[in-house]
Homo-oligomer: A and B are copies of this chain.
Amino acid sequence: MADHKATIESMLTALIEGRKFRSIKDIVVTMTPQDIAAILEELDEETLTLIFRLLPKDMAAETFVEMEPEAQQALIKSFSDDELREVMEELYVDDAVDLIEEMPANVVKRILAQTDHNMRRSINELLQYPENSAGSIMTTEYVSLRPNMTVSEAFMRIRRTAVNKETIYTCYVTEDRKLLGIVTLKDLLLVSDDDTLIRDIMDENVIAVHTLAASEDVARDLAKYDFLALPVLDKDDRMVGIITFDDAIDVLEEEATEDMELMGGMSPSDKTYSRSGPLDLFKHRIPWLLLLMVSATFTGIIITRFENALAAQVVLTAFIPMLMDTGGNSGSQSSVTVIRALSLGELEFSDLPSVIWKEIRTAVLCGVTLSADCFVKIMLVDRMLLGNAGVTIPVAATVCVTMAATVLIAKIIGCALPMCARRLGFDPAVMASPFITTIVDALSLLVFFGVASTLLF
């Protein structure tokens, strides 16, 4: 049970330190491969190898799959050829492909040498699909049935092949590799007559995807329809594999992380935070910081242009940070909302006019409220409480008018840019807060000085 997990883990760590191998063996067989992997990864190479050898064969392979590439490489190094072959035999094709993609060339060579002919062919096929395509995350190990099998023949086939299949709960009815329909194991169980033909109970209305479809779209389809797996067809509409719900969940989580990284002004990383060193983090963060620093030249130029106005009314400077932040926040509210809605497939480019109209109305509500409150705040806090005599009513009016205008501009740009990016084939999340902030900063300063010259000079 979940509650005892932490206890078991600390107990196991103590046993490993005490090298009580028999007890370790008794305990690990009660654990999940994921939890064993998490503990093994923390060990030094020698102990890791030692404990790994204690695992029963099928468990060893499952645990191996769950480990980080560094630990996997250390293990492979310590394996004899026979041991490596045994682990490879237990792997599903898609896990083997993941492994090969992570390992250096010399290790890959050793792995392929210890892989049987059929597996090697499947691996090579899967390796050819572009990254982030449905083909790259599918597995070729599914149950296929023939349309003129009887239900009892189908059960026999499932029983015979089940061990090597990722899922047996959805079976695919094919003829000449064309997908004719699907039958779930539940359907098969509920048929009362064992001689019923598969073609008579299969569901012919199948949702399928193509090998080159974006893995994100496929994952979202699977989530939408609550399917356990989706069949994948090649360009000639022949069935080549399936994508299972567990891989779809991973894709959705990775996509969310990637969107967040882009929203935070970073290039997305394949590595988790714990596995990223400062140099990795630096590489993913510095490009955006540099770009945004350089583009801030524009705000600098604008302020320099109005240097004289600022020198005459130094009090205006005090409001620049507030106006810039409000603009940035308003813009990122709209961009984040729209980026997520685009990711979830809720919005398309054709919705742009209605989105802009909705954002304009929202901006008016936000702008008016903010301006009014800001006016009160300026007069009460800045003028009366802090006794800043430079804060006159015209100054307050300048700030508040600018604020309302900034909110409007920020919300329009914030919703429009991500949608245009999607239209142009970019990831909308690139157009998130940092980028929009820079544009909105420049525009809000222009409005500020424009309003100031009208009201104050």
Using CB atoms and an 8 Å cutoff, list the residues of chain A in contact with chain B. Answer: 1-3, 5, 29-32, 34, 155, 158-159, 162-163, 168-169, 185-186, 189-190, 204-210, 213, 221, 223-226, 228, 233, 237, 245-246, 248-250, 252-253, 256-257, 259-261, 263-266, 272-274, 277-279, 281-282, 285-286, 288-290, 292-294, 296-297, 299-301, 303-304, 307, 310-311, 314-315, 317-322, 324-326, 328-330, 332-333, 335-341, 344, 346-347, 358-359, 361-362, 365-366, 369-370, 373-374, 377, 381-382, 386, 388, 403, 407, 433-434, 437-438, 441, 445
Contact = CB atoms under 8 A, between A and B. Distances in A.
27 contacts: A1-B233, A1-B237, A32-B205, A34-B224, A163-B190, A223-B253, A256-B256, A259-B260, A263-B263, A264-B332, A273-B341, A282-B362, A282-B365, A286-B370, A288-B333, A289-B370, A292-B326, A293-B325, A293-B374, A294-B377, A296-B322, A297-B382, A300-B318, A307-B318, A317-B320, A321-B441, A324-B325
Contacts of A337: 261, 264, 266, 273, 281
Nearest to A326: B293
Given A162-B186, A314-B307, A344-B253, A246 B223 contact: yes
A249 B186 CA distance: 22
Nearest to A206: B1
Contacts of A335: 264
A158 B341 CA distance: 41
B317 A2 contact: no
A219 to B, nearest CB: 9
Contacts of A281: 337, 358-359, 362
B326 A328 contact: no
Contacts of A445: 321
Contacts of A317: 303, 307, 310, 317, 320
Contacts of A285: 330, 333, 362, 366
A247 to B, nearest CB: 9
Given A185-B189, A289-B326, A293-B377, 11 more contacts: A226-B246, A261-B336, A264-B336, A286-B369, A293-B403, A296-B321, A296-B326, A303-B318, A310-B317, A324-B325, A329-B434
A238 B289 CA distance: 54
B301 A340 contact: no
A369 B279 CA distance: 12
B332 A434 contact: yes
Contacts of A246: 223, 226, 245
A300 B322 contact: yes
A290 B333 CA distance: 13
List 8 tightest A-B contacts by C-beta distance, closest first: A264-B336, A296-B322, A278-B361, A256-B256, A299-B321, A226-B246, A282-B365, A273-B341
A88 to B, nearest CB: 20
A448 to B, nearest CB: 11
A214 B354 CA distance: 37
Nearest to A290: B373
A221 to B, nearest CB: 7
B185 A2 contact: no
A62 to B, nearest CB: 10
A335 B277 CA distance: 16
Given A207-B32, A346-B273, A336 B263 contact: yes
B264 A2 contact: no
Contact of A346 (B3, B274, B386, B437): B274
